[in-house]
Chain A
């Protein structure tokens, strides 16, 4: 029996039990649809994160005080006092891949303007921090080197802080009180929105690090150094010399832990992508379970169908159908079922990801790879789960089958 005949036969057999066929297909539809939707959400999230990381400034080498060793006594971020301004100067001087660097020291503080108050992070740094992190000042200006030198009470505020303290009012030139010290607002940052980690990047005040160190945090060390390398590749190449330099400066003996850690933006991008991949794999495997269940559904229905059509199989065999003919007939039926389910599932998956991006405003990116994979997978499910029922049909004894009631 030729292929077109077999296919025609399969379609007719499926059309005979429309409700049953559609319900059987539903398992595959949901499975394929879920896989495609989930992958598109994952891809969308990944692009968002990559964009966010780009937004934080490329070429950035991030040096933070503290150990990254898991377990043991973890000296967290900011609890280590060895990272200083001298380290920063040494890095810019001695590591050739580093173009410039900005210090970072933070303190949380209550901020008051007239009858409004807000608790936020005050980040102390130097003027070159803004270009390194790609912060743009929307209004006003950033502080000068002189103001840093003099530990002046000036600050640049994020849009969130501005909204809570000033509402619609123009914040530039206004006097606010940070932990009861008067500061003059000299600049307003352009909004960056949420960071990759989900924190509001606009909810902060940036002031000269000298001011934060002496007047707010009461420390002499730094919590971090943000260095800018000449290129993304250089940022990774710089990690090793920076580590060596700081170990030497901090007099860390061979074999002992670093009391700082160095990260690059591209490394973080990789890590984020990795995390995203793990998440996607996890979600896809959950969605695949539904494909598996769909496949079992197909097998179940095919077994029922073989039993129901025992007589038909007997007649076909009596008039000359070979085992191969019968096997092929039922296999093609199962594959047709799963393939049709797969095609509808692809449409549902695409529709679902459009709905998600339009209604929930989540970014989704359709993955051709996932669609092709899902299509192949649905055919595979049909072959795998259709094989046994088809085999059972083919191995029926024609005499028994003809007698079957």
Chain B
């Protein structure tokens, strides 16, 4: 995907455009549920290069969440290997994995997962606390990240004072604050209305295009997947289709066509009780 002559991210892990940030090699994952053995992933081989924007699709139980957990270093493959940024992380210790999550990965969740009664700024600062950076550096980075998602003026608001879209933007800022190599988003628009969903996709596209950030999102909505560059379809623990998105949508083009809410920041887009993820 060398179609972008854009600067790579300003990170210590600078990647050449065509270098693999994610490489899975024959990855299997089993779970034991009592006497049953669930074979969640059945031999996944996959490469994602720096600067890609991948949508992972599949029905519930297709194994896409398991894949995300492995890519996100929250879980280890039962068999096979996983290279993150060129390093085999498949058999690493928990502590090493925590460091990797902290430095190389940024997570965005369907339910935002912001800490309540903690300001937006402090939520964004959270990953920097575990990165061993000075308090001044932490604050300036968090402020910059909030600015990046257009919420600088909401830094001292609590999550309960923010709309769903704003909360998700805070979550994206949190994912960006340690300048990761990959941004992983699990159903990031699952709890948002359609306009807000497109706004979130706009941020992802900007980050991908302007900063060359590798983005992997899990979604079951085809129209959301249309904003990515590449779609991976999973079924029954196997990668069934790996396609380049044709007729890719660009959020910046779509947004003007959508009906505008009176005030984008109005609190009318309340967070609905989240449906079961996956």
Residues of A within 8 A of B (CB): 1-2, 5, 16, 311-312, 314-325, 398-399, 402-403
Contact = CB atoms under 8 A, between A and B. Distances in A.
A162 B73 CA distance: 93
22 contacts: A1-B129, A1-B130, A2-B132, A314-B113, A315-B115, A317-B98, A317-B101, A318-B72, A318-B74, A318-B107, A319-B126, A319-B174, A320-B98, A320-B101, A320-B102, A321-B98, A322-B99, A323-B95, A325-B98, A398-B74, A402-B113, A403-B277
A133 to B, nearest CB: 72
A314 B131 CA distance: 17
Q: Which 4 A-B pairs have the closest CB atoms?
A: A320-B102, A319-B127, A320-B130, A322-B98
Nearest to B118: A12
Contacts of A16: 117
Nearest to B75: A399
Contacts of A316: 126, 130
B130 A325 contact: yes
B178 interface: yes
Given A311-B113, A319-B127, A319-B174, A399 B103 contact: no
User: Helix, strand, loop or mixed for chain A's interface?
Assistant: helix
In this complex, the member of A2, A312, A315, A320 whose beta carbon has the largest number of chain B beta carbons within 10 angstroms is: A320
Contacts of B130: 1, 316, 319-322, 325
Contacts of A5: 129
Contacts of B129: 1, 5
Contacts of B132: 1-2
Contacts of A312: 115
Contact of B101 (A2, A319, A323): A319
B39 interface: no
B94 interface: yes
Contacts of B101: 317-320
B53 interface: no
A398 B75 CA distance: 9
A321 to B, nearest CB: 5
B69 A399 contact: yes
A315 B113 contact: yes
Interface in B76-131: 94-95, 98-99, 101-103, 107, 109, 113-115, 117, 126-127, 129-131
Chain A CB count within 10 A is highest, among B107, B131, B277, for B107
Contacts of B109: 402
A320 B178 contact: yes
B178 A322 contact: no
Contacts of A2: 132
B47 to A, nearest CB: 24
Nearest to A394: B94
A358 B243 CA distance: 87
